[in-house]
Amino acid sequence: MSKHVRQEDEGRLPKYYSISQDVIRLIRSGKLAPGMRIPSENQIIEQYGVSNTTARKALQELTSGRWVVKIKGKGTFVHGTGVVRSVDRILSFTRNMTEAGFKPSTKILHQSVLRKGYSALINGRRYSMDGPVLKLHRLRFADKIPMMLEVRYISLALCPGIEKTALTESLYDIYRNKYGHELTEIHQMLSTYMIESEAATFFDLHGPVCGLLVDGVTFCGREIILEMEKSIYRGDRYSFAVRAMYPTTDEPMAL
């Protein structure tokens, strides 16, 4: 019923475009999750009462927008996320996007120096950085699509003068190339986060969408905290890949 109203509202747009927008809405709402099959050409023809040319164009629109991927002889599946992030690799956004075939870019939203330092609770443990700490708020893009909103807290004791350099590139590169710091370990806590109001504006989202909140701490040596972060990944574009193997790290295997 609301679909009918929506179609009338969009009456001036090409039919194939309205259909593709319907599917994108389902992907964004999570009703069509990554890996799920989307309606076939024949199902679109039947459901919307359109020609096969229109149905095919709708599917092409979704494919070219990287919302879905067509697998020969199997069907068309939600790509949705566009990006899979491996959580067991120390990987910069820049490299992650490049590997996924996107062109990364960055917009700095705000930066300031916290004299008193920063601390956060991650996986039940409190991690603290002494001041001064550079608080850097950035929006990260892939092919001009806003993907991730991040706040990085960088030790100015370990990276003196970093606040005066250009900070639109990979910070990991700057840490290594300019300061000689090699990352040794990352601890992160992944939680869900309803992206709405102000955050939704940054992502150019119209309704509330699930996001992944990452609270992280990065070490460049035993117990030496180089930076901490608090980032929001949009859940309609991202999924996280995990592998666990036996034996697992230093803990006994718990069956």
- Which of 109, 242 has the CB closer to a copy of itself? 242
- Which of 40, 52 has the CB closer to a copy of itself? 40
- Which of 35, 160 has the CB closer to a copy of itself? 35
- Cα dihedral 233, 212, 223, 242, rounded to 10, equals -100
- Smallest separation, CB 40 to a copy of itself (Å): 16
Q: Could you give the CA distance from residue 224 to residue 246 in angstroms, rounded to a whole number?
A: 29
Task: Report how far apart, in Å, the C-alpha atoms of 163 and of each of 82, 107, 128, 159, 183 are.
Answer: 32, 15, 20, 9, 20
Is 205 in contact with 195 (CB distance < 8 Å)?
yes
Q: Could you give the CA distance from residue 85 to residue 68 in angstroms, rounded to a whole number?
A: 17
- Smallest separation, CB 104 to a copy of itself (Å): 13
- Which of 74, 164 has the CB closer to a copy of itself? 74
- Smallest separation, CB 71 to a copy of itself (Å): 7
Could you write out the DSSP letters of every residue in 136-184?
EEEEEEETTEEEEEEEEEEETTTSTTGGGS--SS-HHHHHHHHH-PPP-
- Smallest separation, CB 156 to a copy of itself (Å): 21
Is 76 in contact with 42 (CB distance < 8 Å)?
no
- Smallest separation, CB 149 to a copy of itself (Å): 14
- Smallest separation, CB 222 to a copy of itself (Å): 12
Collapsed DSSP state (helix, strand, coil) of residue 255: coil
- Which of 90, 113 has the CB closer to a copy of itself? 90
Collapsed DSSP state (helix, strand, coil) of residue 222: coil
- Which of 52, 129 has the CB closer to a copy of itself? 129
Element (H, E) at 218: strand 209-219
